[in-house]
Amino acid sequence: MAALKHRRTALERVEKFLSETYFTDCNLRGRLFGDRCPPASLSCFQTPRRIPYDEAVRQEFTPAKVGDSFGPTWETCWFKVELSIPLAWAGREVHFIWESDGEGMVWCDAQPVQGLTKEGEKTSYILTSSLKETEPHSLTLYVELACNGLFGAGKGSMIAPPDPDRRFTLSKAELVVFNRDVYELLVDLEILLGMAQFLGEENQRSFQALYTANQMINVCDVTDPSTFPAARDLAAAIFSQRNGESQHTIHAMGHCHIDSAWLWPYEETIRKCARSWVTVVRLMECNPELTFTCSQAQQFEWVRSWYPGLYAQIQDFVAKGQFIPVGGTWVEMDGNLPSGESMVRQFLQGQQFFQEQFGRICSEFWLPDTFGYSAQLPQLMRGCGIRRFLTQKLSWNLVNTFPHHTFFWEGIDGSRVLTHFPPGDSYEMHGQVEEMLKTVKNNKDKGRVNHSALLFGFGDGGGGPTQKMLDRIKRMSDTDGLPRVQISTPDRLFSVLEKESSQLCTWVGELFLELHNGTYTTQAQIKKGNRECERILHDVEVLSTLALARSGMFQYPASQLQRLWRLLLLNQFHDVLPGSCIQLVVEDALQYYAEIRRAGAQLQEEAVQSLCGDLLQPKAGSAESTLVLNTLPWERTEVISRTGPAETETLALVTVPSMGYAIVREPLLPAQPVAVRKREDGSIAMENGVIAVCLDMMGRLTSLRLVDSERESVPDGCYANQFALFDDVPLYWDAWDVMDYHLETRKPVTTLLKPLEITLAGGLRGSASFSLRIGKSSTLTQEIILDAACPYLRFLTQVEWKEAHKFLKVEFPVQVRSTNATYEIQFGHLQRPTHYNTSWDWARFEVWAHKWLDLSEHCFGVALLNDCKYGASAHRNVLSLSLLRAPKSPDATADIAHHQFTYAVMPHRGSFQEAGVIQCAYNLNFPLHAVAASSAQCPAWSAFSVSSPAVVLETVKQAEDRPEAVVVRLYEAHGSTVVAWLQTSLPVKEAMLCDLLERPAARGCLPLEQQGVRLSFTPFHVLSILLVLRQ
């Protein structure tokens, strides 16, 4: 009979019928499991190491029981579980249930078979779907339990430093009968409840779903499974009512974002990959329609090395099109801080790996969780065979809502890629009604496209999709009132979006994340390691390539370089290079940089030995001279330090040709030596004929002039090189965020420990030093250096940093007026406003740059150069460089250390392009190499030069799969259209254009002419050229 229904009571009736907490004695949820029985025996053994299975099973196991706890954090417990299934359970579905707050992996017959993680809703391993009498009723499993949770072991909050003493409890280990009919009914009711709750009171369909669920409870007797089919028929009637043709289509794909390191070390990530991916493989065996997208070649390589059996299964599912490699990069790297060449190598190493292992490269770039995206990425993607991009991180913007979910993204050179942000603003959906409705409602491009992505599965710490998520999605495939949901692939999604793309908007320039801008500065030693190692690998490649071209005997160290590059690329992962990781990860990262420095120095020495061996042997009785090598593509005249007789350091002014070397016997005399003088008031003046500076006793610049024009850079009454300390307490994400309000807490650093004193009196180099107290307990010592003929003033800085929640910057107020400042990015530069007119402007109060930033008006400007810093800002006429932070989570010791870094200030006439700011920043970052040599006469030698100052020759390396060929990479750095000649003294017999994966371009052959190879560039264009050498 018809009965009145109150919406709220009906909703709550359904909720309670499904509840895990209330009325489980009489509701449906309480019937999910039938009979239970404990394991026949349970024993364990504990180790501080992560050991392989065959070593673990040989250990001595001692008895264990449910309720025992294990630890401390990062230890591993191996459990031997002997099971005996009761004969009475014949015909039933039997699961092994395991619940613990650690991360578990089941091993059976020496192979990993299932991940077990309570936080990832995976607590059961299916032993049989219908127990046959002929099946063995006794079996032995091993469970490998990591003493850490899905998100590490933060003490008190997720991102707090790990608690070293945490214990992990085994709360359940048992055999159970699983009632599949109860499970199916629960999922039906869950979907109907979701429709009733989230379609809203004004929606007819909401009430249809609610009344159907209510009626299902009426017909369902939980003690009598024979009543279940009638209840399920009611649900099926609702699910089978179809949508209209115009309904939005959601492309659902399994996904499992695994941070390569974050709140756990790299080594634990290897096991996270295995736990997550083996679970996906099990799901695929039962659900042939399931697709799973998986990025990061490094993680595939880890599983290939550590779990070959699992890897073979993954290869099978890749071949079937279910397990889908995406992204094309070695790791999901930070999108701001790696150099242009590093980004190329992320794609080169990644795409090469996917090609070798799976026979194809990825066609979409996949970077869902990175803290902003450089405006050079579209060109780099296109150069690596990728025209599609997926992320969602801009949904985290603190200030402005990004206006699109599907759009074309255009980089600084004009390259465009089709970009999609899943409109549900997440990469870890659970397949629930609410998420499907949010995906449609939230879509900012309604009317332009009618398809979008939904990525489902637990993520960050791994986990991945579950059977329940899939079962929910199946019920929503085409149900009136909900969007259509189909299990799909990235290719299927992007193919339809391409067909629908005629109405899409275009976003030009960087995708700046308005959050996490402390990550440009946190963990300064990681930032420095990255910049240094990028330089080391550049120099080793240049010198090894020159050695290879000059000598048939030299073996190019291709495999060693690949190993070192992969270490560097791994550390560019988006929680390592940004500094948002725990102390264990920082230690690993610094160790990898140390290894690159060590091995790189050795490789460089071998290349120089081969290239210049005959010049390096001192002849008996002859005066020593110095061999100076230049790895940059322009001639340089600089002051170098060389080791003279009796190990004394002496200075010399030298000129070295581009990408080559010179023997220096008698150093040059400067046209104008550096003059240093102390004034009566304690200030010090320095001048070198190019710039003249005046410094007060605290090392601040009161004057910085260009000598030839008398143009002053420092405004009256202002101090440049002024240190400032800010309170730095973000809202939550400690290592990640610096908030806008930190700017209100500025305190200039004015406590002098040692006033400015002259340390070098002039000639080739003048310098002065001073020391300051910073905050409560930190000290800063700086040597301010002016070299002969040098257009910039250097600040060699040492800091003993012991602060907590403070931010140190150095400021340069300058006498320049401009509404935009220019910042170097990968293979180019971009402008950002110096004002806070709009919310989009002031949200960029702290930004990132690479080797330089510049503020210029017509005919004059001032640039700040640096050798390892990334955080910066320019507001009105003040240029700031961010030096050090002191967050306490997730690493309580972050940045508490000794730091050394150099920055420089460069006033200039004309534009920064004409003044050579770009070249000067390279010179600061790539010092000349001086080696003791014999006094043999030897003409200077140059391997490469470029005719235009607008074009930078960035990379010289051996081709990946053609040992007789060399790849050179050049880019247009000024933002101009230009023709340039590449000249080389190497024995080149053929030149051709290639892409960033070193595949020759169609019709890409370049004629070799007297002046070299003629190259045409448009603004910020990156060109790669394959040069085949004569043997």
Q: What is the 8-class DSSP label of residue 860?
A: E
**235: three-class secondary structure by DSSP:** helix
Task: Give 30: exposed, middle or buried? Use CB within 10 Å, 0-12, 13-18, 19+.
Answer: middle
User: Which amino acid is it at 959?
Assistant: A
d(CA 276, CA 259): 12
d(CA 181, CA 663): 85
Which of 469, 101, 442, 472 minimizes the C-alpha distance to 255?
Answer: 469
Which H, E and C letters describe 487-539, residue by residue? ECCHHHHHHHHHHCHHHCCEEECCECCCCCHHHHCCCHHHHHHHHHHHHHHHH
Write out the two tokens for 128.
């049989």
d(CA 14, CA 10): 6
Q: Using alpha carbons only, what angle is made at residue 727 by residues 726 and 728, rounded to the nearest 5 degrees?
A: 105
Euclidean distance between the first and final Cα of the chain, in Å?
94
Q: For 84, how many CA atoms within 13 A lie in the half-sphere containing its CB?
A: 4
Question: Edge-to-edge, what's the strand order for the sheet holding 871-875?
Answer: 747-748, 722-727, 806-813, 878-884, 871-875, 847-848
Handedness of CA 15, 19, 24, 28 (dihedral sign): positive
Task: Give 6: exposed, middle or buried? Use CB within 10 Å, 0-12, 13-18, 19+.
Answer: exposed
Write out the two tokens for 101.
């707050």
**331: three-class secondary structure by DSSP:** coil
Q: What is the 8-class DSSP label of residue 623?
A: P
d(CA 392, CA 923): 38
**647: three-class secondary structure by DSSP:** helix
CB contact set of 314 (below 8 Å; sequence gap of 6+): 277, 281, 300, 303, 323
Determine which one of 101, 259, 369, 445 is catalytic. 369
Handedness of CA 808, 813, 819, 822 (dihedral sign): negative
**97: three-class secondary structure by DSSP:** strand
Query: Tokens 């003059």 identify what position?
Result: 675
d(CA 205, CA 195): 8
d(CA 792, CA 781): 20
The residue length of the chain stands at 1031
Cβ proximity of 822 and 830 under 8 Å:
yes
Centre a 10 Å sphere on the Cβ of residue 997 and count the other Cβ atoms it contains: 18
- Per DSSP, what are the bridge partners of residue 452? 250
Instruction: Tell me: cis bond preceding 890? Omega within 30 of 0 counts.
Output: yes
Cβ proximity of 243 and 225 under 8 Å:
no
Scored b (16 or more CB within 10 A) or e, 181-211 reads: ebbebbbbbbbbbbbbbbbeeeeebbbbbbb
d(CA 387, CA 355): 17
DSSP 972-1003: E-SS--EEEEEEE-S-EEEEEEE-TT-PEEEE
- Per the annotation, the verdict on 369 as an active-site residue is yes
Cβ proximity of 742 and 936 under 8 Å:
no
Catalytic residue numbers, as ranges? 369
